[in-house]
Amino acid sequence: MAAGHVWTDKRIENILGNLLRAGVVFSAVIVFCGAVVYLARHGRAHADYRVFQGEPSELRSVPGIVRDAVDVSGRGIIQLGLLFLIATPVARVIFSIWGFAAEHDRMYVVFTVIVLAILIFSLVGSSQM
């Protein structure tokens, strides 16, 4: 039993690692595409980040970002890439639930679900607060 346990752990860890790398590469490519559009259109404008104004509302929520990206707004596409990047660790947590369940490790399924609930609250629920 011990050998099978180690093997499953190892395999899950490998898949987790590849998942993370794929997520980062994918989001970096989208951010880069957005950057090309953004710099081509606004590259000559004046850069100023001295005063904090906060992002416009459409770049603060998931539906707004998707809408902006579909409209081929450079900033919208970059923000969509960043959203994929934030989603990468979340995907890792979701996959871990499956992994622990496959090992019949109920205690760690519960722990992982707690972490996922906190992450989902941050991404979806925290805007109402």
Partner 1 sequence: MNILEFTALVFVGSLVAGLLGSLTGLGGGVVLVPLLTLFFKVDIRYAIGASLVSVIATSSGAAAAYVKEGFSNIRIGMLLEIATTLGALSGAFLAVWVSTKAIAIIFGVVLLISAFLSRKPRSPAERNAPPDPLATRLRLNGSFPDLEGRRSYNVQRVPAGFGIMFGAGALSGLLGIGSGALKVLAMDQAMRIPFKVSTTTSNFMIGVTAAASAGVYLHRGYIDPGLSMPVMLGVLGGSLVGAGILVKAETKWLRLVFSAVIVLLGIEMFYKGISGGI
Binding mask 63-82 for partner 1 (x = CB under 8 A): -----------xxx-xx--x
Q: 54: left (phi > 0), else alpha (psi -120 to 50), else beta? A: left
Task: Tell me which residues in 84-113 interact with partner 1 (CB under 8 A).
Answer: 85-90, 92-93, 96, 100, 105, 107-108, 111-112
CA distance 4 to 8: 6
CA distance 56 to 51: 14
| Environment class of 81 (CB within 10 Å of its CB; exposed 0-12, middle 13-18, buried 19+) | buried
In the block, tokens 């490519």 appear at: 29
Q: Check binding of 55 to partner 1 (CB under 8 A).
A: yes
Q: CB-wise, 55 or 71, nearer to partner 1?
A: 55
Taking the complex as a whole, how short is the minimal distance between the CB of residue 67 and partner 1, in angstroms?
Answer: 14
CB 88 within 8 A of CB 16: no
Per CB under 8 A, residues contacting partner 1 are 9-10, 12-14, 16-18, 20-21, 23-24, 27-28, 31-32, 34-35, 38-39, 42-47, 49-56, 59-61, 74-76, 78-79, 82-83, 85-90, 92-93, 96, 100, 105, 107-108, 111-112, 114-115, 118-119, 121-124, 126-127, 129
